A and B are shown apart, each in its own frame.
Chain A
Amino acid sequence: MKLSELFEQKKFVVTSEIGPPKGFHLEKILHEAEMLKGRVSAINVTDNQSSVMRFGSLATCHFLKDKNIEPVYQVVCRDRNRIALQSDILSAAAFGIENLLLLTGDHTKLGDHPQAKSVFDLDSVSLIHTVKKLEEGVDIAGNKLDGEPPRFCIGAVVSPCSEPLEPQLIKMEKKVKAGAQFFQTQAVYEVDKFVKFIEKAKQFGVPIMAGIVILKTVGMAKYMNENVAGIHVPDSLIEELKKDKEKTKSGQTGIEIAARLIKELKPHCEGIHLMPLGWDDKVSKILDMAGL
Protein backbone atom coordinates (compact mmCIF):
# COMPACT_ATOMS: atom_id res chain seq x y z
CA MET A 1 0.00 0.00 0.00
CA LYS A 2 1.39 3.37 -1.00
CA LEU A 3 1.25 6.02 1.73
CA SER A 4 -0.08 8.43 -0.90
CA GLU A 5 -3.28 6.36 -1.08
CA LEU A 6 -3.82 6.84 2.67
CA PHE A 7 -3.28 10.58 2.39
CA GLU A 8 -5.78 10.68 -0.47
CA GLN A 9 -8.32 8.97 1.80
CA LYS A 10 -7.67 11.81 4.29
CA LYS A 11 -6.34 9.34 6.86
CA PHE A 12 -4.00 10.63 9.58
CA VAL A 13 -0.95 8.50 8.80
CA VAL A 14 1.39 7.17 11.47
CA THR A 15 4.76 5.62 10.67
CA SER A 16 7.59 4.41 12.83
CA GLU A 17 11.18 3.48 12.16
CA ILE A 18 13.63 0.65 12.71
CA GLY A 19 17.39 0.61 12.25
CA PRO A 20 18.99 -2.58 10.92
CA PRO A 21 21.58 -4.20 13.22
CA LYS A 22 25.34 -4.30 12.94
CA GLY A 23 25.35 -7.89 11.86
CA PHE A 24 22.87 -10.08 10.04
CA HIS A 25 20.67 -11.36 12.85
CA LEU A 26 17.35 -9.68 12.37
CA GLU A 27 15.20 -11.45 14.96
CA LYS A 28 15.16 -8.49 17.34
CA ILE A 29 14.20 -5.76 14.87
CA LEU A 30 11.71 -7.96 13.07
CA HIS A 31 10.10 -8.66 16.45
CA GLU A 32 10.03 -4.94 17.17
CA ALA A 33 8.44 -4.31 13.79
CA GLU A 34 5.85 -6.99 14.44
CA MET A 35 4.85 -5.37 17.71
CA LEU A 36 3.97 -2.25 15.74
CA LYS A 37 1.90 -4.11 13.16
CA GLY A 38 -1.59 -2.68 13.10
CA ARG A 39 -0.53 0.38 15.10
CA VAL A 40 1.32 2.13 12.28
CA SER A 41 0.70 2.28 8.54
CA ALA A 42 4.32 1.66 7.61
CA ILE A 43 7.78 1.31 9.09
CA ASN A 44 10.81 3.18 7.78
CA VAL A 45 14.04 1.24 7.51
CA THR A 46 17.09 3.46 7.85
CA ASP A 47 19.98 3.23 5.39
CA ASN A 48 23.30 2.97 7.25
CA GLN A 49 21.98 5.56 9.67
CA SER A 50 24.44 8.17 10.96
CA SER A 51 27.00 6.79 8.48
CA VAL A 52 27.42 3.66 10.62
CA MET A 53 27.78 0.49 8.54
CA ARG A 54 24.89 -1.88 9.19
CA PHE A 55 22.73 -4.56 7.62
CA GLY A 56 21.10 -3.33 4.42
CA SER A 57 17.92 -1.31 4.28
CA LEU A 58 16.70 -2.99 1.09
CA ALA A 59 17.04 -6.52 2.46
CA THR A 60 15.35 -5.51 5.73
CA CYS A 61 12.45 -4.01 3.76
CA HIS A 62 12.17 -7.29 1.87
CA PHE A 63 11.91 -9.22 5.19
CA LEU A 64 9.23 -6.81 6.40
CA LYS A 65 7.22 -7.39 3.22
CA ASP A 66 7.43 -11.14 3.91
CA LYS A 67 5.76 -10.46 7.25
CA ASN A 68 3.09 -8.29 5.63
CA ILE A 69 4.49 -5.16 7.20
CA GLU A 70 4.60 -2.14 4.90
CA PRO A 71 8.15 -0.78 4.66
CA VAL A 72 9.38 2.68 3.74
CA TYR A 73 12.73 2.07 2.06
CA GLN A 74 15.15 4.82 3.04
CA VAL A 75 17.83 5.56 0.49
CA VAL A 76 20.75 7.95 1.04
CA CYS A 77 23.21 9.29 -1.54
CA ARG A 78 26.36 8.92 0.56
CA ASP A 79 27.35 5.35 -0.29
CA ARG A 80 26.36 4.71 -3.89
CA ASN A 81 26.67 6.46 -7.22
CA ARG A 82 23.75 6.96 -9.61
CA ILE A 83 24.25 3.55 -11.22
CA ALA A 84 24.03 1.63 -7.92
CA LEU A 85 21.16 3.77 -6.61
CA GLN A 86 19.02 3.15 -9.66
CA SER A 87 19.89 -0.52 -9.62
CA ASP A 88 18.85 -0.89 -5.96
CA ILE A 89 15.63 1.06 -6.50
CA LEU A 90 14.71 -1.24 -9.38
CA SER A 91 15.44 -4.18 -7.08
CA ALA A 92 13.07 -2.66 -4.53
CA ALA A 93 10.34 -2.50 -7.16
CA ALA A 94 10.77 -6.23 -7.82
CA PHE A 95 10.40 -6.94 -4.09
CA GLY A 96 7.09 -5.07 -4.11
CA ILE A 97 8.45 -2.18 -2.03
CA GLU A 98 6.32 0.83 -2.86
CA ASN A 99 7.32 3.59 -0.45
CA LEU A 100 10.65 5.34 -0.63
CA LEU A 101 12.23 8.02 1.53
CA LEU A 102 15.02 9.70 -0.40
CA LEU A 103 17.68 11.64 1.49
CA THR A 104 21.13 13.12 0.93
CA GLY A 105 22.56 11.38 4.02
CA ASP A 106 25.10 12.29 6.67
CA HIS A 107 28.77 12.69 5.77
CA THR A 108 31.00 9.63 6.25
CA LYS A 109 33.10 11.58 8.77
CA LEU A 110 30.21 11.36 11.26
CA GLY A 111 30.08 7.59 11.32
CA ASP A 112 32.20 4.56 12.13
CA HIS A 113 34.13 4.58 8.83
CA PRO A 114 35.41 8.17 8.74
CA GLN A 115 38.11 7.13 6.26
CA ALA A 116 35.51 6.13 3.66
CA LYS A 117 34.83 8.12 0.50
CA SER A 118 31.61 10.10 0.59
CA VAL A 119 29.94 9.58 -2.76
CA PHE A 120 27.13 12.17 -3.11
CA ASP A 121 27.10 11.65 -6.86
CA LEU A 122 23.42 12.58 -6.59
CA ASP A 123 21.68 14.49 -3.80
CA SER A 124 18.17 14.22 -2.38
CA VAL A 125 16.68 16.42 -5.12
CA SER A 126 18.39 14.73 -8.05
CA LEU A 127 17.61 11.30 -6.55
CA ILE A 128 13.90 12.17 -6.46
CA HIS A 129 14.23 13.33 -10.07
CA THR A 130 15.93 10.02 -10.91
CA VAL A 131 13.09 7.94 -9.44
CA LYS A 132 10.58 9.99 -11.43
CA LYS A 133 12.58 9.19 -14.55
CA LEU A 134 12.50 5.46 -13.72
CA GLU A 135 8.73 5.78 -13.33
CA GLU A 136 8.62 7.28 -16.82
CA GLY A 137 10.42 4.19 -18.14
CA VAL A 138 13.89 5.66 -18.61
CA ASP A 139 17.01 5.86 -16.47
CA ILE A 140 18.68 9.13 -15.51
CA ALA A 141 20.87 8.98 -18.61
CA GLY A 142 17.75 8.65 -20.77
CA ASN A 143 18.13 4.97 -21.66
CA LYS A 144 14.88 3.04 -21.97
CA LEU A 145 13.96 0.46 -19.32
CA ASP A 146 12.68 -2.92 -20.38
CA GLY A 147 9.03 -3.63 -19.68
CA GLU A 148 6.55 -1.84 -17.44
CA PRO A 149 8.20 0.96 -15.43
CA PRO A 150 8.13 0.83 -11.61
CA ARG A 151 5.68 2.87 -9.54
CA PHE A 152 6.58 4.29 -6.15
CA CYS A 153 5.31 6.69 -3.55
CA ILE A 154 8.20 9.12 -3.07
CA GLY A 155 8.92 10.61 0.33
CA ALA A 156 11.43 13.28 1.31
CA VAL A 157 12.55 15.06 4.45
CA VAL A 158 12.51 18.64 5.70
CA SER A 159 13.71 20.28 8.89
CA PRO A 160 10.83 22.52 10.05
CA CYS A 161 12.43 24.13 13.10
CA SER A 162 15.66 25.12 11.36
CA GLU A 163 16.99 28.61 11.64
CA PRO A 164 17.06 30.17 9.14
CA LEU A 165 13.99 28.41 7.72
CA GLU A 166 14.11 29.89 4.23
CA PRO A 167 16.79 27.50 2.82
CA GLN A 168 14.68 24.57 4.03
CA LEU A 169 11.59 25.92 2.26
CA ILE A 170 13.54 26.56 -0.94
CA LYS A 171 14.86 23.01 -0.94
CA MET A 172 11.45 21.59 0.00
CA GLU A 173 9.91 23.34 -3.00
CA LYS A 174 12.63 21.89 -5.20
CA LYS A 175 11.89 18.40 -3.86
CA VAL A 176 8.16 18.84 -4.52
CA LYS A 177 8.85 20.00 -8.07
CA ALA A 178 11.17 17.02 -8.55
CA GLY A 179 8.34 14.67 -7.51
CA ALA A 180 8.19 14.27 -3.71
CA GLN A 181 4.71 13.13 -2.65
CA PHE A 182 5.03 13.35 1.13
CA PHE A 183 7.42 14.68 3.76
CA GLN A 184 8.63 13.33 7.06
CA THR A 185 10.24 15.98 9.21
CA GLN A 186 13.20 16.24 11.52
CA ALA A 187 12.21 15.83 15.19
CA VAL A 188 9.92 18.59 16.43
CA TYR A 189 9.96 19.88 20.02
CA GLU A 190 8.75 23.42 19.37
CA VAL A 191 5.13 23.36 18.27
CA ASP A 192 4.97 27.13 17.64
CA LYS A 193 7.90 26.95 15.21
CA PHE A 194 6.31 23.95 13.48
CA VAL A 195 3.03 25.84 13.03
CA LYS A 196 4.89 28.78 11.48
CA PHE A 197 6.64 26.36 9.14
CA ILE A 198 3.34 24.75 8.13
CA GLU A 199 1.84 28.14 7.31
CA LYS A 200 4.62 28.63 4.76
CA ALA A 201 4.86 25.01 3.55
CA LYS A 202 1.17 24.40 2.91
CA GLN A 203 1.45 26.26 -0.43
CA PHE A 204 3.31 23.21 -1.78
CA GLY A 205 0.22 21.04 -1.30
CA VAL A 206 1.98 17.87 -0.10
CA PRO A 207 1.22 15.91 3.09
CA ILE A 208 3.62 16.53 5.98
CA MET A 209 4.27 14.06 8.78
CA ALA A 210 5.74 15.63 11.92
CA GLY A 211 8.81 13.84 13.26
CA ILE A 212 8.84 12.68 16.87
CA VAL A 213 11.95 11.47 18.67
CA ILE A 214 11.37 10.17 22.21
CA LEU A 215 13.45 12.09 24.75
CA LYS A 216 15.31 9.44 26.74
CA THR A 217 17.57 11.46 29.00
CA VAL A 218 18.59 15.01 29.85
CA GLY A 219 21.96 14.24 28.26
CA MET A 220 20.32 13.27 24.99
CA ALA A 221 18.37 16.53 24.88
CA LYS A 222 21.48 18.57 25.57
CA TYR A 223 23.49 16.59 23.04
CA MET A 224 20.89 17.26 20.33
CA ASN A 225 20.85 20.96 21.19
CA GLU A 226 24.60 21.09 20.82
CA ASN A 227 25.06 18.87 17.81
CA VAL A 228 21.97 18.06 15.79
CA ALA A 229 20.94 20.47 13.06
CA GLY A 230 17.40 21.82 13.13
CA ILE A 231 16.63 20.54 16.64
CA HIS A 232 16.17 22.62 19.73
CA VAL A 233 14.76 21.00 22.87
CA PRO A 234 13.35 23.90 24.93
CA ASP A 235 14.46 24.37 28.55
CA SER A 236 10.95 23.58 29.79
CA LEU A 237 11.21 20.02 28.42
CA ILE A 238 14.70 19.58 29.85
CA GLU A 239 13.34 20.69 33.26
CA GLU A 240 10.51 18.18 32.91
CA LEU A 241 13.05 15.41 32.29
CA LYS A 242 15.10 16.55 35.31
CA LYS A 243 12.17 16.75 37.70
CA ASP A 244 11.56 13.05 38.39
CA LYS A 245 14.71 11.04 37.71
CA GLU A 246 13.06 7.64 38.22
CA LYS A 247 10.18 8.48 35.91
CA THR A 248 12.57 9.70 33.22
CA LYS A 249 14.74 6.59 33.62
CA SER A 250 11.75 4.31 33.10
CA GLY A 251 10.89 6.21 29.92
CA GLN A 252 7.60 7.51 31.29
CA THR A 253 8.52 11.22 30.97
CA GLY A 254 9.69 10.71 27.38
CA ILE A 255 6.45 8.90 26.57
CA GLU A 256 4.34 11.69 28.10
CA ILE A 257 6.24 14.42 26.24
CA ALA A 258 5.99 12.56 22.92
CA ALA A 259 2.24 11.94 23.34
CA ARG A 260 1.65 15.57 24.27
CA LEU A 261 3.64 16.81 21.26
CA ILE A 262 1.64 14.53 18.96
CA LYS A 263 -1.66 15.87 20.32
CA GLU A 264 -0.52 19.45 19.83
CA LEU A 265 0.92 18.84 16.34
CA LYS A 266 -1.92 16.70 15.00
CA PRO A 267 -4.26 19.54 13.98
CA HIS A 268 -1.48 21.09 11.90
CA CYS A 269 -0.22 18.12 9.86
CA GLU A 270 -1.27 15.02 7.93
CA GLY A 271 0.62 12.45 9.96
CA ILE A 272 3.26 11.57 12.52
CA HIS A 273 6.57 9.83 11.99
CA LEU A 274 7.98 8.29 15.18
CA MET A 275 11.70 7.70 15.48
CA PRO A 276 12.00 5.59 18.66
CA LEU A 277 15.79 4.99 18.31
CA GLY A 278 15.59 1.60 19.98
CA TRP A 279 12.63 2.37 22.24
CA ASP A 280 10.24 0.62 19.89
CA ASP A 281 8.44 -0.97 22.84
CA LYS A 282 7.27 2.52 23.91
CA VAL A 283 5.55 3.36 20.60
CA SER A 284 2.21 1.67 21.36
CA LYS A 285 1.96 3.43 24.69
CA ILE A 286 2.71 6.82 23.11
CA LEU A 287 0.06 6.26 20.46
CA ASP A 288 -2.46 5.17 23.13
CA MET A 289 -1.80 8.30 25.17
CA ALA A 290 -2.00 10.50 22.07
CA GLY A 291 -5.34 8.92 21.17
CA LEU A 292 -4.14 7.44 17.89
Chain B
Amino acid sequence: MLTTQIKNKEEIISKLSGSTFIIKCIGCKEVLFPETEIDKFISENIEKNKITGRLKIDYLCNQDFSQAYINNHKVEIEKAETILVFSCGVGVQVMASLLENKKVITGCDTIYINGFQGLTVQNYNCAQCGNCYLNYTAGICPITACSKGLLNGSCGGAKNGKCEVNKDFDCGWEKIYNRLLKLNKKPKEEILIRDYSNL
Protein backbone atom coordinates (compact mmCIF):
# COMPACT_ATOMS: atom_id res chain seq x y z
CA MET B 1 0.00 0.00 0.00
CA LEU B 2 1.34 3.41 -0.92
CA THR B 3 -0.41 6.65 -0.33
CA THR B 4 0.91 10.02 -1.39
CA GLN B 5 -0.89 13.30 -1.76
CA ILE B 6 0.04 16.36 -3.74
CA LYS B 7 1.58 19.17 -1.66
CA ASN B 8 -0.28 22.42 -1.40
CA LYS B 9 0.02 24.46 -4.57
CA GLU B 10 1.70 27.44 -2.91
CA GLU B 11 4.56 25.40 -1.48
CA ILE B 12 5.39 23.78 -4.81
CA ILE B 13 5.17 27.06 -6.71
CA SER B 14 7.39 28.83 -4.16
CA LYS B 15 10.12 26.25 -4.77
CA LEU B 16 10.05 26.43 -8.57
CA SER B 17 12.58 28.63 -10.31
CA GLY B 18 13.75 28.87 -13.91
CA SER B 19 12.81 26.02 -16.16
CA THR B 20 11.63 22.70 -14.80
CA PHE B 21 12.09 19.04 -15.61
CA ILE B 22 9.22 16.94 -14.28
CA ILE B 23 9.48 13.36 -13.04
CA LYS B 24 6.52 11.23 -12.05
CA CYS B 25 6.94 7.83 -10.48
CA ILE B 26 4.25 5.35 -11.43
CA GLY B 27 5.81 2.36 -9.71
CA CYS B 28 3.21 2.04 -6.98
CA LYS B 29 0.59 4.25 -8.58
CA GLU B 30 -1.97 1.52 -8.70
CA VAL B 31 -2.53 2.24 -5.07
CA LEU B 32 -3.05 5.91 -4.19
CA PHE B 33 -0.92 8.20 -6.31
CA PRO B 34 -2.65 11.48 -7.13
CA GLU B 35 -1.83 11.45 -10.84
CA THR B 36 -4.95 13.33 -11.96
CA GLU B 37 -4.29 16.14 -9.46
CA ILE B 38 -0.63 16.25 -10.46
CA ASP B 39 -1.44 16.61 -14.16
CA LYS B 40 -4.00 19.29 -13.33
CA PHE B 41 -1.47 21.15 -11.18
CA ILE B 42 1.15 21.04 -13.93
CA SER B 43 -1.19 22.24 -16.67
CA GLU B 44 -2.57 25.07 -14.55
CA ASN B 45 0.62 26.29 -12.90
CA ILE B 46 3.68 25.62 -15.03
CA GLU B 47 4.00 27.28 -18.43
CA LYS B 48 4.66 24.79 -21.20
CA ASN B 49 7.74 26.62 -22.48
CA LYS B 50 9.26 26.42 -18.99
CA ILE B 51 9.15 22.62 -19.01
CA THR B 52 12.35 21.17 -20.47
CA GLY B 53 11.04 17.62 -20.38
CA ARG B 54 8.93 15.05 -18.59
CA LEU B 55 9.62 11.57 -17.44
CA LYS B 56 7.42 8.79 -16.15
CA ILE B 57 9.44 6.23 -14.23
CA ASP B 58 8.53 2.87 -12.88
CA TYR B 59 10.04 2.55 -9.37
CA LEU B 60 12.08 5.70 -9.06
CA CYS B 61 13.52 4.23 -5.86
CA ASN B 62 15.61 1.82 -7.91
CA GLN B 63 18.87 3.71 -8.29
CA ASP B 64 20.16 1.78 -11.30
CA PHE B 65 16.97 2.17 -13.31
CA SER B 66 16.73 5.84 -12.41
CA GLN B 67 20.34 6.47 -13.39
CA ALA B 68 19.66 4.89 -16.78
CA TYR B 69 16.63 7.13 -17.29
CA ILE B 70 18.66 10.19 -16.31
CA ASN B 71 21.33 9.23 -18.84
CA ASN B 72 18.65 9.06 -21.54
CA HIS B 73 17.38 12.55 -20.70
CA LYS B 74 20.68 14.26 -19.98
CA VAL B 75 20.06 17.29 -22.20
CA GLU B 76 16.61 18.17 -20.88
CA ILE B 77 17.74 17.67 -17.28
CA GLU B 78 20.84 19.78 -17.84
CA LYS B 79 18.71 22.62 -19.23
CA ALA B 80 16.40 22.68 -16.21
CA GLU B 81 17.07 24.66 -13.06
CA THR B 82 14.51 22.73 -11.00
CA ILE B 83 13.76 19.02 -11.02
CA LEU B 84 10.21 18.56 -9.78
CA VAL B 85 9.54 15.02 -8.55
CA PHE B 86 6.17 13.49 -7.82
CA SER B 87 6.81 10.31 -5.87
CA CYS B 88 7.12 9.03 -2.32
CA GLY B 89 9.87 10.41 -0.07
CA VAL B 90 12.25 7.60 -0.96
CA GLY B 91 12.01 8.30 -4.69
CA VAL B 92 12.71 12.00 -4.19
CA GLN B 93 15.78 11.21 -2.07
CA VAL B 94 17.14 8.78 -4.65
CA MET B 95 16.69 11.37 -7.40
CA ALA B 96 18.30 14.13 -5.28
CA SER B 97 21.30 11.88 -4.65
CA LEU B 98 21.70 11.12 -8.36
CA LEU B 99 21.40 14.79 -9.31
CA GLU B 100 23.45 16.35 -6.54
CA ASN B 101 24.14 19.54 -8.47
CA LYS B 102 20.49 20.17 -9.26
CA LYS B 103 17.70 21.57 -7.15
CA VAL B 104 15.45 18.54 -6.70
CA ILE B 105 12.11 19.30 -5.09
CA THR B 106 9.16 17.17 -4.14
CA GLY B 107 5.56 17.79 -5.10
CA CYS B 108 4.16 15.14 -2.78
CA ASP B 109 3.66 14.36 0.89
CA THR B 110 4.00 10.68 1.73
CA ILE B 111 1.34 9.31 4.04
CA TYR B 112 1.85 5.57 3.87
CA ILE B 113 4.42 3.38 2.21
CA ASN B 114 4.46 0.07 4.09
CA GLY B 115 4.84 -3.01 2.03
CA PHE B 116 6.71 -1.29 -0.77
CA GLN B 117 9.54 0.08 1.31
CA GLY B 118 12.48 -2.26 1.06
CA LEU B 119 11.42 -3.63 -2.30
CA THR B 120 14.13 -1.84 -4.21
CA VAL B 121 15.45 0.74 -1.78
CA GLN B 122 18.81 0.43 -0.13
CA ASN B 123 20.02 3.72 1.26
CA TYR B 124 17.03 5.95 1.84
CA ASN B 125 14.14 5.90 4.19
CA CYS B 126 10.84 7.74 4.41
CA ALA B 127 9.05 8.18 7.72
CA GLN B 128 5.69 8.64 5.98
CA CYS B 129 5.10 11.73 8.09
CA GLY B 130 2.65 13.26 5.64
CA ASN B 131 4.54 16.54 5.68
CA CYS B 132 7.55 16.16 3.43
CA TYR B 133 10.50 18.41 4.42
CA LEU B 134 12.75 17.41 1.51
CA ASN B 135 12.20 20.80 -0.15
CA TYR B 136 14.05 22.45 2.74
CA THR B 137 16.89 19.99 3.12
CA ALA B 138 18.34 19.44 -0.35
CA GLY B 139 16.50 16.16 -0.82
CA ILE B 140 17.85 14.40 2.29
CA CYS B 141 15.21 13.53 4.86
CA PRO B 142 16.02 15.17 8.22
CA ILE B 143 13.59 12.89 10.00
CA THR B 144 15.15 9.61 8.93
CA ALA B 145 18.77 10.75 8.37
CA CYS B 146 19.10 12.52 11.76
CA SER B 147 18.86 10.36 14.90
CA LYS B 148 16.94 13.14 16.61
CA GLY B 149 14.83 14.00 13.58
CA LEU B 150 15.82 17.66 13.88
CA LEU B 151 14.41 20.14 11.40
CA ASN B 152 16.50 23.24 12.05
CA GLY B 153 20.10 22.09 11.73
CA SER B 154 22.64 19.83 13.40
CA CYS B 155 22.52 19.30 17.16
CA GLY B 156 26.25 19.83 17.61
CA GLY B 157 26.72 16.29 18.88
CA ALA B 158 28.43 14.86 15.80
CA LYS B 159 32.16 14.19 15.99
CA ASN B 160 34.17 13.94 12.76
CA GLY B 161 30.94 13.75 10.79
CA LYS B 162 29.60 10.83 12.81
CA CYS B 163 26.42 10.81 14.89
CA GLU B 164 26.63 10.92 18.71
CA VAL B 165 24.31 7.91 18.89
CA ASN B 166 26.41 5.58 16.77
CA LYS B 167 29.84 6.14 15.25
CA ASP B 168 28.81 4.07 12.23
CA PHE B 169 26.11 6.63 11.31
CA ASP B 170 26.95 9.70 9.31
CA CYS B 171 25.50 12.91 10.74
CA GLY B 172 22.39 13.54 8.63
CA TRP B 173 22.69 17.29 8.95
CA GLU B 174 26.31 17.31 7.83
CA LYS B 175 25.13 15.48 4.71
CA ILE B 176 22.40 18.09 4.26
CA TYR B 177 24.85 20.99 4.71
CA ASN B 178 27.31 19.43 2.26
CA ARG B 179 24.59 18.90 -0.34
CA LEU B 180 23.40 22.49 0.11
CA LEU B 181 26.97 23.66 -0.27
CA LYS B 182 27.22 21.81 -3.59
CA LEU B 183 24.06 23.61 -4.66
CA ASN B 184 25.58 26.89 -3.47
CA LYS B 185 22.71 27.32 -1.04
CA LYS B 186 22.26 28.08 2.63
CA PRO B 187 19.66 26.23 4.67
CA LYS B 188 16.33 28.01 4.77
CA GLU B 189 16.04 30.68 7.39
CA GLU B 190 12.49 29.88 8.38
CA ILE B 191 11.95 27.94 11.58
CA LEU B 192 10.43 24.55 10.91
CA ILE B 193 8.24 22.90 13.52
CA ARG B 194 7.26 19.28 13.11
CA ASP B 195 3.60 18.67 12.37
CA TYR B 196 2.50 15.31 13.72
CA SER B 197 -1.14 15.81 12.86
CA ASN B 198 -0.85 14.07 9.48
CA LEU B 199 0.58 10.89 10.95
Contact = CB atoms under 8 A, between A and B. Distances in A.
Interface of A: 104, 106-107, 109-110, 118, 120-126, 129, 140, 157-159, 162, 164, 166-168, 170-171, 173-174, 177-178, 186, 227-230
Interface in B31-49: none
B125 interface: no
Contacts of A124: 152, 155
Contact of B164 (A164, A177, A229): A229
Contacts, number: 82
B186 interface: yes
A135 to B, nearest CB: 15
User: Which of A140, A168, A174 is packed against the most chain B CB atoms within 10 Å?
Assistant: A174
8 contacts: A107-B148, A123-B150, A123-B153, A123-B155, A126-B151, A129-B191, A167-B153, A229-B158
B81 interface: no
B74 interface: no
B174 A106 contact: no
A228 B157 CA distance: 7
Contacts of B186: 170
A171 B159 CA distance: 17
Contact of A121 (B147, B157, B191, B194): B194
- Which bracket fits the contact residues of B? 20 to 34
Interface of B: 147-159, 164-166, 173-174, 177, 186-187, 189, 191-194, 196
Given A120-B148, A123-B155, A107 B193 contact: no
Contacts of B150: 104, 120, 123
Contacts of A178: 191
Given A110-B165, A166-B177, A167-B173, A126 B155 contact: no
Contacts of A162: 156
Contacts of A107: 147-148, 157, 164-165
A88 to B, nearest CB: 18
Contacts of B189: 173-174, 177
